Amino acid sequence: MVSHVGDFGLAKFPSSHHLDTSNQTPSSSIGIKGTVGYVAPEYGMGSEACMAGDVYSFGILLLEMFIGKRPTDVTFKEGLTLHEYAKMALPEKVMEIIDPSLLMDVIENNSKIREDRRAKLEECLNAIIRTGVLCSMESPFERMYMRDIVAKLCHTRESFLGRRV
């Protein structure tokens, strides 16, 4: 897997009066800021930057990492989005959308993997994809809170490893 560092969150533009402390403008409100596919839908409607927007971006990034498709992939056309693609797979078809490179060990050792271990893997991948979907809901009011996301992902990791980390 290749990791990429990107512009997670929104870019901040200094005010033209950056030396004038009486006019403290932390960011520009002109236009949408962020990367296509990762920017929260409400920003297109003129909403101010907020934590829920970063949660949306995190959810899309989480889905991308485990599905192996960017939100701008050619697969997503005619209204289909990465969010909808993942949502439609829950819960029975999640293994079909997971990036095959993440499952290489499972595929290579399929005959050796115990059924309970495979079930645990599927359960954890379901939890991760479900978390990504809940983070990338269209409405900011339907998205998870970051503290709940961290708790859910830590619980999923502990469940998969079979121990508290």
Per-block average pLDDT, block size 10, for the chain (165 residues)?
A: 49 48 48 79 82 94 96 92 96 95 73 72 95 97 96 94 72
Each as own residue / partner, the long-range contacts of residues 3-8 (CB below 8 Å, 24 or more positions apart, any chain) are 6/35, 6/38, 7/34, 7/35, 8/38, 8/54, 8/57, 8/58, 8/61
pLDDT at 163: 73
Q: What pTM, to 2 d.p., does this model score?
A: 0.78
pLDDT at 119: 86
Name the one residue in this structure whose structure tokens are 């056309």: 77
pLDDT at 25: 44
